[in-house]
Amino acid sequence: MPPCFTCCRCPILSFDCHCQLPNQLVFPYSLNYGLSRASRKIKVSHLRANFWESIRSGFVKNNTTQIIDPPSTPEEEEEPLPQEFVLIEKTQPDGAIEQIIFSSGGDVDIYDLQTLCDKVGWPRRPLSKLAAALKNSYMVATLHSVRKSPGAGENDQKKLIGMARATSDHAFNATIWDVLVDPSYQGQGLGKALVEKLIRALLQRDIGNITLFADSQVVEFYRNLGFEPDPEGIKGMFWYPR
Amino acid sequence: MHYSSMYNVYLSNHRKTSSFSHFSSSPTTTMLLRGIISTPPLPPRLKASHNPQNATVSAQLPTTKFSISDQSLQSRGFNLRRSISDLNLDHLNSVFVAVGFPRRDTEKIRVALENTDTLLWVEYEKTKRPVAFARATGDGVFNAIIWDVVVDPSFQGIGLGKAVMERLVEELLRKGISNIALYSEPRVLGFYRPLGFVADPDGIRGMVYSRKQKKRK
């Protein structure tokens, strides 16, 4: 039973999204693969979309699904995570190709994000606030579905289907908030992949302490990703939660 | 205005690289702060007499919003500071180490503080050294997490930790951030509770990533 990806922390808030922020996101570490963050069109450079054991179980075992790359090696031995890469590629019955693309560049169309938040059932919040929250986040990871139609000359369809973000002091601690995956894409291991990539990107930036707050129903999900609840009895506390 | 409870002072050894709140307390008094902290700060009011012949202006006492007022702290030689400009990071690091944090690189601490939205520290006038500290990171809009809450062991037990926490929370609320979280060692849960913090509300668990912990399917 796939866990609910809608929230990995405090129940209080949800998101409302919108704004034009892309160019203002500042990340201290940026792998330049020639990708333009400002562009809405995804430029996929060929990189290694690593195959993650943990999402293997989510793959459809037939030949229309291609895994773009070799088995994973232990995290620390892998090369720096590219900012954007193809996670899954599937050929659909009509010949169209759908790619699920991971990006840590934080290029989020706020209206798309609002749509996604609606889909997972989060109450709406002021778009400007959500934009500010994204802008002030240390890392924003997204999953997009890009459908390349079989016909020649037709435009790709790109859809935001997942997001996760982390706040941080850029040195010691990071906290993951708001993990969400489009319900129609849940159950394929995308949430796991999203969080795993986010963790890896954070570790590569030498952020040693990665934390989050998990609703009780997703504690197991995060445990399987390497998170431990109440380590050494340390408890998460909230100020007058509603 | 009074000093709050006596704290049990102890130093704990902290084995992780993270720095969770670090000193223990068993407050014998619990100051009810809920109603106070949750309202916006009120400035001292001056009440002018309406009697034109008796045009005296009497100042009302400022509304008590903190357990210990700024003035009270100051009169005892403690200055509240809210920026890192005069903060000696080596001195701060010494306080961290004194309460049991692993010694961290000062320059990394600088990076962390420069990327921290809100912080508060208490400077001891006599030595100009930091004796209490706390900071909060977050997205500036929805969520904040409080880290590195410390009081120099020589200055524990007189309410400085509470003073710093109350003001930090108040500052976050003033900025419109109401989702304020932190990670507390088990021995200091009793310090945070009277300040309004609740552990595992609705079954929400704080979780920390551990590289050794990861299970593979």
Residues of A within 8 A of B197 (CB-CB) are: 237-239
- Candidate from B19, B189, B214 with C-beta closest to A235: B189
A204 part of contact set with chain B, CB < 8 Å = no
CB-CB contact of A54 with A164 (8 Å): no
- Candidate from B138, B192, B215 with C-beta closest to A224: B215
Mean residue pLDDT of chain A comes to 77
Question: Packing angle between helix A110-119 and helix A127-135, nearest 10 degrees?
Answer: 110
What's the pTM value of the predicted model, to 2 decimals?
0.71
Under the phi-then-psi rule, with left for phi > 0, alpha for psi from -120 to 50, and beta for the rest, what region is B114? alpha
Digit-coded pLDDT (tens) for A134-176: 999 999 999 999 998 887 777 888 999 999 999 999 999 999 9
Sign of CA dihedral A209, B24, A232, B207: negative
More confident residue, A197 or B31: A197
Digit-coded pLDDT (tens) for A192-235: 999 999 999 999 999 999 999 999 999 999 999 999 999 999 99
Question: Packing angle between helix B106-114 and helix B89-98, nearest 10 degrees?
Answer: 100
Closest-CA residue to A137 (of A106, A159, A103): A106
Residues of A within 8 A of B209 (CB-CB) are: 199, 209-211, 225-228
CB-CB contact of A103 with A84 (8 Å): yes
Closest-CA distance, B21 to chain A, in angstroms, reads: 10
Q: Look up the ipTM and state it.
A: 0.73
Domain ranges of chain B: 7-216
Question: What is the rounded distance in angstroms from the CA atom of residue B69 to the CA atom of residue B6?
Answer: 18
CB contact under 8 A, A237 and B197: yes
CATH class as words, domain B7-216 = alpha beta
